[in-house]
Structure 1
Amino acid sequence: MGRHREGLGRDARLRRQNRIRQWGRQQGGWSTMRRPACRIVCARMKSLLRRLYERVVPFLRRRAPLSRPPEAVVPRVPERWTQEQAIHEGRRIDYRLYVPPVPSGAQSPRSLVLMLHGCQQDPLDFATGTGMNELARAHNVVLVYPEQKHAANSHGCWNWFKPNHQQRDRGEPAMLAGLTRAVMRAHDVDPARVYVAGLSAGGSMAAILAECHADLFAAAGVHSGLPRGAATDAIAALAVMRHGMKPLAGRVEGHAMIVFQGDADEVVHPDNGVAVVESARGLDLMGGPPARCVTGASAQGRRYTRTCHPATAMGGPVEHWELHGIGHAWSGGDARGSYTDPAGISASAEMLRFFLENPRRARA
């Protein structure tokens, strides 16, 4: 009896399914029934997604920064700050090299500045104290920081006071000029835009290089230094540093130079700054256009007197910055470096400005 009822129920379900199928065939089949509904749903979804895109995407573009800078400002070659070595006549030279990044599409050659540290300093300390790398990055300038070996001078000073190191083709001037030329060849440097700068003993060597290698260095920056020939041995060097000196006679041709000297310097007498300026001017001391003198102060209140001697037929322009209240220290330097006075006017910025304004002049 139970099996008979199950059979009747199964038969009823089959008859009901057959009636549904028959009705569907009469209406054109299931596929024709679904198609209009599917079109309606798809059209509504597309409309909804389009409205969502039009509202959300512009909002996200306004709010979210680009994942990277535009291609036009992506450096083609990244900047470098490396420890390097060179050999000059059998002597190894250790130096730090800063090469700024090369922007995509850049074509113009670079400038170069040879940076000479002072006594008891090294290239890393000098780079930190002057902050010159950051300025060089903005102006596409290669920086070379050679290191004086303690075997050559027990205090790490450049030997500016020894006659052997005051000549063009001998000693440290020849070595430093050779290093400069090697870096120029390797890094596409404009030969008309090569400069030298230094502090104290480094500034004194910069003055020597400016005079002995005027064909190489377009201008020099001397901070708290002395002129070439100021001394011929260590004892004479200490005396002239302490008491100052009179300007040296006999200079014929001048050269472009910017000079910084603190009037509270107890290591290098302020009179030496005047001697450097007058040595750089050469025979321009005999005449020429009048100098322009201005006074001012740094943002921190350190005052200065700036005297500008214009270029003449005998040589390039010369600037003399007398730094009031500053001792034996790089003006406007970073306190993380040695021998710096952060409150002063930025000697680094003014030197680089002067250099870039004064490429080497073509000789008649």
Structure 2
Amino acid sequence: MREAAQQILNKGVHLHRPAAKPTMRDINPPPPNAAPSTPEPEAAPARGQAPNPATHPAEYAQDMLNRMGIKLDLQANLDRAIDLGSLHSPTSAPMPEGAQFIRSSYSNHAGMRNYKLYIPSSYHGQAMPLLVMLHGCTQNPDDFAAGTQMNQVAEEMGFFVAYPEQPANANHSKCWNWFNAIDQQRGQGEPSIIAGIARQVIDEYPVNERQVYVAGLSAGGAMAVIVGTLYPELFAAVGVHSGLPFASAQDLPSALSAMKRGAKSAGKAGDGSQPIIVFHGDSDTTVNPRNGEQVIEQRLHHHRGARPSVQSGAVPNGYRYTQTTHTKPDGTPLGEHWVVHGAGHAWSGGSASGSYTDAKGPDASREMLRFFSTVA
């Protein structure tokens, strides 16, 4: 089933055209199992009979989607990805003189991951905050940095930014494996690697250890919730864009269900009680906006006396948004929930130089760094 599902869930391609609203799909797939031996050719299934996943993976995938009530023309989506996949490549903005965007790697018992680290031009040996950014499916550090423009904002505000890279050999579509049980445990799997990358940067640079944060988009947003939950002593706050609550899925069916309808149970989130900022488009058809609400609810479970305040706004010639701020009785910030009205599955306020962005929304990168600075 996973081999078939990886074909369903490959993210569709976001073609950037200023005059048209982008079509975005980003169904986060699980990693494939070990490659099976080549099967003998098999006839197409009889009408009404479920396709064999080993010999007819695309048909099986479409049948599974249909049975789950998910309306998606798999073949059309795959064809579109094949046709348009080469039309977009990230365009990096020129770096300020003295800034660096360097490549490194980290390994532990769970595996190895490359990452890129942005060092702002203002760095001259002094302590700075660190943000770990987790990309979405099919993305990589350069694409994610270009689309979110996080390096430019970090340059202004004096942040290190680390971008761990999920390789295709860990997940066919380069998604973080937020739905796997092993990747929802402290000291195990991908969370241990991501935390290890943060600690390696801390060891190598004078990071202010009270100002270390993690954020992500889509599958990366779901993994940011997991990492923040499992390592509250390391990460002071969490940013989530179009993501899902902690441990909202344990397998493929529950992952698809959570993405389509919201998690069935998301009341508790372990020890993770750091402040959190959440962005979600209310027209997101890939990850139901209910998930953004549940991420906030999980965190507020630890703070029964939270006080919400709501304000609305609009981006000139862009989307309207509703911002709900949650604070402790003494005014200490606990969380912010930004609902971008009319936005789909894309980084709000991002640049078309990267994939899965929508410039018409409020600037999620700037708002996240602003929020992190208030909770230090």
**TM bucket normalised to smaller:** 0.7 to 0.9
- Which 5+ residue runs of structure 2 have no aligned equivalent? 1-95
1:307 match? 324
Q: 1:179 is matched with which residue: 183, 197, 218?
A: 197
TM-score, normalised by the number of residues in structure 2: 0.71
**Is 1:247–1:279's contact at 8 Å kept on the other side of the alignment?**
no
Residues in 2 aligned to 1:201 and 1:174: alpha-carbon distance in whole angstroms: 16
CA distance in 1, matches of 2:318, 2:110: 49
Q: 102, 105, 130: which is aligned to 1:82? A: 102
How far apart are the structure 2 equivalents of 1:245 and 1:289? 22
CA–CA separation in structure 2 for the residues paired with 1:196 and 1:183 = 13
For 2:219 and 2:264, locate their aligned partners in 1 and report how far apart those are by CA, in whole Å. 19
Whichever residue aligns with residue 154 of structure 2, its letter is: A
Find the counterpart in structure 1 of residue 336 from structure 2. 319
**Residue 146 of structure 2 contacts residue 351 of structure 2 at CA under 8 Å; is this kept in 1?**
yes
1:36-63 per-position Cα deviation (integer Å, ceiling 9, x unaligned): xxxxxxxxxxxxxxxxxxxxxxxxxxxx
- C-alpha separation between the residues in 2 aligned to 1:246 and 1:234? 14
Question: What is the alpha-carbon distance in structure 2 between the residues aligned to residue 309 and residue 145 of structure 1?
Answer: 28
Higher RCO (C-alpha under 8 Å, 6+ residues apart): 2
Deviations 1:297-344 (A, max 9, x none): 11233100000010369x951100011000000000001111100111
1:289 offset after TM fit, Å?
4.3
Quickly say closer, same or farther: Cα 1:119–1:312, change in 2 above 3 A: farther
Indicate the SS of the match to 2:355.
coil
Residues 190-229 of structure 1: per-residue CA shift (max 9 Å, x gap): 0000000100000000001111101000001000000111
* Contact kept? 1:311, 1:318, Cα under 8 Å: no
1:262 to 281, 297, 310: 281
With over 3 angstroms needed to count, the CA separation of the structure-2 counterparts of 1:345 and 1:94, relative to structure 1, is: same
User: How many Å apart are 1:245 and its aligned residue?
Assistant: 2.6
Distance in 1, matches of 2:110 and 2:308, equals: 46
Higher helix proportion (structure 1 or 2): 1
Contact 1:246–1:275, Cα closer than 8 Å, also in 2: no
> What is the SS of the residue equivalent to 2:129?
strand
Indicate the RMSD between aligned Cα atoms, in angstroms: 2.0
Contact 1:118-1:200 within 8 A present in 2 as well: yes
**1:152-167 → structure 2 map (5 Å cutoff):** 152-167=170-185
Assess if the C-alpha contact under 8 Å between 2:136 and 2:220 holds in 1: yes
Paired amino acid for 1:283: H
Q: Identify the match of residue 292 of structure 1 among 309, 319, 334.
A: 309
Q: Distance in 1 between the 2:185 and 2:150 partners? A: 28
Deviation at 1:235, TM superposition (A): 2.2
Match of 1:102 in 2: 122
For 1:206 and 1:90, the matched residues in 2 are separated by 18
- Which whole-Å CA distance do the structure 2 matches of 1:88 and 1:79 have between them? 29
Could you say if the C-alpha distance between residues 289 and 200 of structure 1 is closer, same or farther in structure 2, counting changes exceeding 3 Å?
Answer: closer
Structure 2 SS opposite 1:283: coil
SS at structure 2 position matched to 1:333? coil
Residue 202 (structure 1) aligns with: 220
Q: Quick one: which amino acid aligns to residue 294 of structure 2?
A: A
- Counterpart CA distance in 2 for 1:237 and 1:301 is 32
Structure 1 unaligned spans of 5+: 1-74, 360-364
Task: Read off the aligned partner of 2:111 and give its amino acid letter.
Answer: R
Question: What is the TM-score when the length of structure 1 is the normalising length?
Answer: 0.73
What is the identity, as a one-letter code, of the residue corresponding to 1:299? P
Q: 1:126 to 1:107 in 2, by over 3 A?
A: closer
Report percent identity of matched pairs. Answer: 44
Answer yes or no: is the 8 Å Cα contact 1:255–1:281 preserved in 2.
no
How many positions carry a matched residue from both structures?
A: 279
Q: Do the aligned partners of residues 322 and 335 (structure 1) sit closer, same or farther apart at CA in structure 2, a change above 3 Å counting?
A: same
Aligned residue in 2 for 1:30: none
CA drift of 1:123 comes to 0.7
For residues 58-107 of structure 1, give each alpha carbon's deviation from its aligned partner in whole angstroms, at most 9, with x where no partner exists: xxxxxxxxxxxxxxxxx9x922112222222373311111011236xx67
